[in-house]
Amino acid sequence: MNLVPKLRKEKKVVNIHQDVLIDEYAWIKQKDWQSVLKDPSKLNKEVLKYINEENNYKSEKLKNLEAFKKKLFEELKGRIKDKDSSVPVKDGQFSYYSKYIENSEYPQFLRFNKENNEEIIFDANIKSKNFKFFNLGSVSHSHNHQFLAYNVDTNGSEYYDLSIEEISTKKIITKKIENTTGEIVWHPNNSVIFYTSLDVNHRPNKIFAHKIGSDPHEDKLIYEEKDAAYFCSPMLSQSKKYLFIRTGDHQTSEYWFSPIENFENIKCFKTRKEKEEYEIDHANDLFYILNNLDQSKNFKISIANMNNINKWKDFIEYNPKHLLLDFTVLKKWFVLLRRVNGLNQILIKNLENFEEHFIKFDDETYELSLSGQYEFDTDLIRISYSSPITPSTIYDYNCKLRKKIHRKTQEIPSGHNSNNYICKRVMVKAHDEEEIPLTIFYHKNTKLNGEAPLLLYGYGSYGITIPDNFSSNRFSLINRGFVYAVAHIRGGREKGQEWYENGKLMNKKNTFLDFISCAEYLCKNNYTSKGNIIAQGGSAGGLLMGYISNERPDLFLGIIAQVPFVDICNTMLDEDLPLTVTEIPEWGDMKKDQEAFKYIKSYSPYDNVKKQNYPNMLITGGITDPRVTYWEMTKWIAKLRDFKTDENLIILDMNMDAGHSGASGRYDYLNEVALTYIFALKISKKISP
């Protein structure tokens, strides 16, 4: 049997704000960490040995469940339609879609013409053959349908290489443009693309124009963002008349624009001002602007004339009860995605007579979203609907006839009956009397007597809303007697912009306390009981996992912390890391603000590990992850081993071939899901056929 892994200590002390940070494992972060992300073979041999020992220890501890894991993998795979395709999206004489062929990990991209002749334009299975990891940032055809540009990341580091092919001949037009972000924008002239490059610290700071077929070293710099806190990206207006460049951080945005035929002459649309956010598009000779100006915290829509972009007038007036999320402008229709009472609605506005109506569903909780489309002069929009117990359905919606046209419902080959499950949305009282939305779903035969194990998922950062959507994977737990719950805690935007702001900066602890309130509610109402909950969260949700494991270990049987952001003090003091500077508005400026430093240090998971019992813990990471770097979870688990006073299982799973999002193939990824589920089932003693 493998011994518990042990990492060498080498104390580092940082004196700051009349305080100290003590880190006995800081040495494992290499000075040339950027090179490790691109090439993991450059990892320090001592650290590599330790990580391998952790992976081997995990395998040893779960060895007797290997057969069950394989069975669970097949079960998860059985809910995925092996030969599947997306609903085609019309673009002129062609319709574009993707398709999975039998036993494939990656999709093919295809199109058919008006004679229904099918053509494979890109096969990711062929392109990925020589790589253990293969992630497509984007696949984008030119407006004349002759060329295809695509971005590929082959190790998980999110450094994408961009290539361009001629569709009919598969001839490479531009072989490779390195270190891009994965975004591609085609010029309407079909001979130029716009892309964003990454600097040495993985920050998207430059927009280039590339003439296809030319040497990338000759590409023209269109825009450079000099502020390390701001990330930039290009887009083409709906009218195809303007190039837009968006730059911003988590609370401020700014757009630059130019007529597309004169894209080098770019100018600012509205100068950045701290905490002012706006998003723009152009159509029908107007600029449409989603913005939070004039105390419009939950956003409104303004319009501006092309000849006077500084004069904005309201198009969709501000309503504090409506959170405006996104919009699309067509020739005859304005389409707005908004959230009302925690649920998404789609508002349709006729641009000829200005009549309005909206699309909504009557379920207690659901996810509704707009899907992308190519055509401008159309009455059709595409929408996607699902709920936690209802598979995803794609509709085309005719705005003129106000009619939904069913296009596809997600198939579950092994079978699924929504009537076998119960799903509800409840409101939970927080520590300060706020009401937290909590989604709960379970099999109708599960007894709510407090004995059921429960998986509670949470995130709560960056204003990201956790959708109440369908995931077939969860039923491997639910069908074995688990209750599944999603806590819509502060830090997200489930209840609007204030819900986000009350879970960031000096309000961050509300995120953690909301999650604990949800856990206590679930115990009090007999969905489960104290010490019978498994908490799950990833990335910034891993920060949440770290806090609750330090402060309320009594509530939780287990913690699943995926690529967890747990070493927040050291990370936010290191301005060379990719995200640190741009994330200061989210967490606070530890370097310049003593109060921010004290507050962050008081909840930082890594800095608050203590001598106590900890829940069972599965911690995951990706060796090439540029967002939450490999040393964060590695240091954390080493420190947890130093301090924990129990015999509970604590294991690290470091993916040595991937980054932040884990395995890239649709079936390879299921191995990671199976791992988390056998961990949950093992510690809850629910292992069953």
Per-residue pLDDT tens for 393-415?
Answer: 999 999 999 999 999 999 999 99
Task: Please provide the average confidence, as pLDDT, over all residues in the chain.
Answer: 96
H or E element at residue 153: strand 147-153
Q: Are strands 616-622 and 650-655 parallel, antiparallel or unpaired?
A: parallel
Q: For residue 664, indicate whether it is catalytic.
A: no
Question: How many folded domains does the chain comprise?
Answer: 1
- How many CB atoms are located within 10 Å of the residue 377 CB? 7
Asked whether residue 351 is domain-assigned, the answer is: no
Asked whether residue 27 is domain-assigned, the answer is: no
Q: Are strands 160-166 and 300-305 parallel, antiparallel or unpaired?
A: unpaired
Amino acid found at 445? N
Question: Which band of pLDDT confidence, cut at 50, 70 and 90, is reported for residue 362?
Answer: confident
Long-range contacts of 554-557, Cβ-Cβ distance < 8 Å, separation of 24 or more: 554/530, 555/516, 555/519, 555/520, 555/523, 555/530, 555/531, 556/519, 556/531, 556/615, 557/453, 557/531, 557/532, 557/533, 557/615, 557/616, 557/683, 557/684
Q: For residue 642, indicate whether it is catalytic.
A: no
Asked whether residue 131 is domain-assigned, the answer is: no
- At residue 590, φ and ψ (nearest 5 deg) are -65, -30
Reading the block at residue 588, the tokens are: 């606070």
Over the stretch 545-603, which tens digit does the pLDDT of each residue have? 999 999 999 999 999 999 999 999 999 999 999 999 999 999 999 999 999 999 999 99
Catalytic position from the list 197, 233, 476, 539: 539
The pTM of this model reads 0.96
Catalytic position from the list 625, 653, 657, 668: 625
- Neighbour-count burial of 132, counting CB atoms closer than 10 A to its CB (0-12 exposed, 13-18 middle, 19+ buried): middle
Predicted local confidence at residue 116, as pLDDT: 86
3-state class percentages of the chain: helix first, strand second, coil last, to nearest 5: 25, 35, 40
Q: What angle do CA 474, 477, 483 make, to 5 degrees?
A: 90
Reading the block at residue 192, the tokens are: 């130029």
Residue positions counted in the chain = 689
**CATH number of the domain where residue 483 is located:** 3.40.50.1820
Crossing angle of helices 66-77 and 668-683, rounded to 10°? 120
Query: Distance between CA atoms of 505 and 497, rounded to whole angstroms?
Result: 14
- One-character DSSP codes across 214-278: S-GGGPEEEEE---TT-EEEEEE-TTSSEEEEEEE-SS-EEEEEEEGGGTTS-EESS---TT--E
Reading the block at residue 196, the tokens are: 């964003």
Over the stretch 653-688, which tens digit does the pLDDT of each residue have? 999 999 999 999 999 999 999 999 999 999 999 886
Query: Distance between CA atoms of 468 and 385, rounded to whole angstroms?
Result: 10
Asked whether residue 70 is domain-assigned, the answer is: yes
Over the stretch 108-117, which tens digit does the pLDDT of each residue have? 999 998 888 9
Asked whether residue 68 is domain-assigned, the answer is: yes
**Do 221 and 263 meet the contact criterion of CB atoms below 8 Å apart?**
no
Helix residue spans in 354-495 (DSSP H): 475-478
Percent of the chain with pLDDT over 90: 96
Asked whether residue 645 is domain-assigned, the answer is: yes
Query: Distance between CA atoms of 181 and 184, rounded to whole angstroms?
Result: 9
Beta bridge partners of 84: 100
- Residues 6 or more apart whose Cβ sits within 8 Å of residue 216: 174, 176, 177, 178, 210
Percent of the chain with pLDDT over 70: 99
Amino acid found at 98? S
Domain of residue 494 covers: 47-77+417-683
Query: Distance between CA atoms of 302 and 287, rounded to whole angstroms?
Result: 8
Q: For residue 625, indicate whether it is catalytic.
A: yes
Residue 689 scores a pLDDT above 60: no
Reading the block at residue 383, the tokens are: 């929408």
Coil, helix or strand at residue 557: strand
Question: Which band of pLDDT confidence, cut at 50, 70 and 90, is reported for residue 2?
Answer: low
Beta bridge partners of 195: 208
Over the stretch 235-251, which tens digit does the pLDDT of each residue have? 999 999 999 999 999 99
H or E element at residue 324: strand 322-329
Query: Distance between CA atoms of 98 and 105, rounded to whole angstroms?
Result: 13
Mean pLDDT of 198-215: 96
Asked whether residue 402 is domain-assigned, the answer is: no
**Do 283 and 376 meet the contact criterion of CB atoms below 8 Å apart?**
yes
Reading the block at residue 220, the tokens are: 């023209």
Catalytic position from the list 281, 660, 664, 684: 660
DSSP character at residue 516: H
Asked whether residue 349 is domain-assigned, the answer is: no
Mean pLDDT of 331-358: 95
Query: Distance between CA atoms of 330 and 282, rounded to whole angstroms?
Result: 10
